[in-house]
Amino acid sequence: MKMIVARDYEELSKKAADKIVQVIENKPNAVLGLATGSTPVGMYKQLVAYNKDKLVDFSYVTTFNLDEYLGIPAEHPQSYQYFMKDNLFNHINIDQSKTHVPNGMAEDIELECKTYDEMIRAHGGIDIQVLGIGNNGHIGFNEPDDELIVGTHVTSLTQDTIKANARFFDSMDEVPTKAITMGLGDIMKAKEIILIASGEAKADIISKLLAGKIDTQVPASLLQVHPNVTVIVDEVAAKLIK
Ligand code: PGA
């Protein structure tokens, strides 16, 4: 695992965006694995700016997002489909038919999960996967548990995660309790992974992530056995690393 400690959120966002640009430079039809949440917002802003300045071309790029809430339609302002259009896809020269977010409204959810994994495989796998990390160590919506699931699946969100997501909804009742997420196998098959984390609240989990042990109660700890992971954090998130 490589570790980059950036001065602040702005530098972290730029370093993460630069990694993506590098991958697209080497392979114009790269397959990107993308994440939502507040952490990648700055990275997406940087990518939009690079695209405006013609420093990166997304026209041959394909994307697969990690996850989506179950039962929230794509047009809902809190859906991850909406987030991706709003933060990235509507502002860059990507062919939107090449962007994929799991469909949380699919009639046959099992089929949706299976098809999602098949599509990733058919595109030759993910060249670079972007990950945030939950305070509880989740990646995508792979929550702490006794067992972790390999492929795309439906998952129940933990109370911690529901609480963390509540800031985006008007009331607790509206916060989704289930999601579709890529599994640990999908993530671990990516050729390269960048995990980004910023701020005080992530300091504890970042130190656990590097503990030298794999613990299914800290799903991100599995990344320690991937051959090409870069963890990009700001100084505050790095402060408990020994
Ligand atoms: P955040 O979420 O970027 O909003 O902190 C990260 C995550 O839960 O994966």
Q: Answer yes or no: is the C-beta of 201 below 6 A from any ligand 1 atom.
A: no
Distances (CA, A) of 201 to 39, 121, 158, 205, 225: 12, 35, 18, 8, 25
Q: What is the pLDDT of residues 11-46, one digit of tens each?
A: 999 999 999 999 999 999 999 999 999 999 999 999
> What percent of the chain lies above the pLDDT cut of 70?
100
Residue 158 Cβ inside 6 Å of ligand 1? The answer reads no
Of the chain, the percentage scoring pLDDT greater than 90 comes to 96
Sheet holding 67-69, edge to edge: 67-69, 178-181, 153-156
Per-residue pLDDT band at 238 (split at 50, 70, 90): very high
Q: Which CATH architecture has domain 2-234?
A: 3-Layer(aba) Sandwich (3.40)
What are the residue ranges spanned by the domains of the chain?
A: 2-234
Express each pLDDT in 53-112 by its tens digit.
Answer: 999 999 999 999 999 999 999 999 999 999 999 999 999 999 999 999 999 999 999 999
Ligand 1 lined by 134 (C-beta under 6 Å)? yes
Residue 219 CA to ligand 1 center (angstroms) comes to: 14
Ligand 1 centre to CA of 97 (Å) is 26
Tens digit of each residue's pLDDT (9 = 90 or more) over 178-214: 999 999 999 999 999 999 999 999 999 999 998 899 9
**Residue to mutate (ligand 1; options 66, 83, 84, 133; most atoms within 8 A of CB):** 133
Q: What is the pLDDT of residues 104-136, one digit of tens each?
A: 999 999 999 999 999 999 999 999 999 999 999
Q: Where are the beta strands (DSSP E) in the chain?
A: 2-6, 31-34, 62-65, 67-69, 99-100, 128-131, 153-156, 178-181, 192-197, 229-234
pLDDT in tens, 140-170: 999 999 999 999 999 999 998 999 899 999 9
* Reported pTM: 0.96
Q: Which of 67, 117, 186, 234 is catalytic?
A: 67
Q: Cβ(133) to ligand 1 under 6 A?
A: yes
